[in-house]
């Protein structure tokens, strides 16, 4: 049975950190790796789907005074993040990052961690364009996500998701939790279609992969 996205994560807010750190291969290492990849001159960071802030736990070790705007659909997850970092420069927004206006040239760096593997190519390209616009010149977007190696695997997950949504009469555009990972090459291509240059895979363990995309204008 598919669950609405916010309901899914609200029900798991108390166990989320333990699950991601100990059960999802590559994530524990990925949080630390992402922190290393944040450009040293970053002052303002946009974190999409920030959840309980596991990536920020590591990033704040390097950048204790960083200004962070975090967006997440699930208030229970944001509450956990607030409890962990009450002294940080955090602006937390309980909203869908597809609907929120990030502003124009507002951030030095944008990140997302294990959140983009729930959406279609079309939806992600539109979101990536908004991320691109939100970055200052020479800004970077760093994405760590669940990605697969073969087109056959990607097609299976997307087709199965469509089958289940049809069976349950779920309207298009409503967020329900189901993993639809894309291939690494398709992720790179989507980011390029959104306007990013020099898009490349920089790190990979199991199905956890980090891609960096640069804004060069």
Q: What is the pLDDT of residue 113?
A: 98
What single string gives the DSSP state of each residue in 80-130?
A: HHHHH-TTSEEEEEES-TTTS---SS-EEEEEEES-STTS-HHHHHHHHHH
Closest to 70 in 3D by CA, of 56, 84, 86, 87: 56
pLDDT for the residue numbered 217: 80
Q: What angle do CA 135, 213, 91 make, to 5 degrees?
A: 40
C-alpha span between 196 and 210 (Å, rounded): 15
Write the pLDDT tens digit of every residue in 49-94: 999 999 999 999 999 999 999 999 999 999 999 999 999 999 999 9
Domains and CATH numbers, the chain: 5-214 (3.40.50.150)
Task: Give pLDDT < 50 ranges for the chain.
Answer: none
- Name residues whose C-beta falls within 8 Å of residue 213's C-beta, 6 or more positions apart in sequence: 128, 140, 141, 142, 143, 191, 192, 196, 197, 198, 199
Could you tell me which of 87, 20, 23 has the C-alpha nearest to residue 50?
20
Distance CA 217, CA 214 (A): 9
What pLDDT sits at residue 173? 86
What pTM does this model have? 0.96
Q: What is the pLDDT, as a whole number, of residue 49?
A: 97
Torsion angle of C-alpha atoms 11, 13, 14, 17, degrees rounded to 10:
140
Q: Give the N- to C-terminal CA distance of the chain in Å, as an integer.
A: 45
């Amino acid at each position: 049975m598919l669950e609405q996205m916010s309901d899914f994560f609200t029900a798991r807010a108390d166990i989320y950190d333990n699950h991601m750190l100990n059960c999802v291969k590559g994530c524990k290492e990925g949080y630390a790796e992402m922190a290393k990849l944040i450009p040293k001159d970053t002052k303002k960071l946009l974190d999409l789907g920030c959840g309980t802030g596991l990536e920020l736990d590591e990033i704040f070790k390097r950048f204790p005074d960083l200004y962070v705007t975090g967006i997440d659909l699930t208030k229970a997850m944001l509450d956990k993040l607030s409890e962990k970092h009450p002294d940080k420069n955090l602006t937390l927004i309980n909203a869908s990052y597809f609907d929120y206006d990030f502003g124009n040239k507002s951030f030095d760096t944008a990140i997302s961690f294990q959140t983009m593997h729930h959406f279609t190519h079309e939806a992600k390209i539109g979101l990536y364009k908004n991320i691109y616009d939100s970055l200052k010149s020479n800004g970077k977007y760093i994405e760590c996500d669940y990605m697969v190696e073969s087109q056959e695997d990607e097609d299976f997950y997307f087709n199965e998701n469509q089958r289940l949504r049809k069976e349950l009469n779920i309207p298009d555009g409503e967020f329900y939790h189901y993993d639809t990972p894309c291939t690494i090459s398709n992720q790179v291509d989507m980011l390029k279609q959104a306007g990013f240059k020099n898009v490349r895979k920089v790190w990979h363990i199991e199905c956890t992969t980090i891609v960096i995309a640069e804004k060069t204008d």
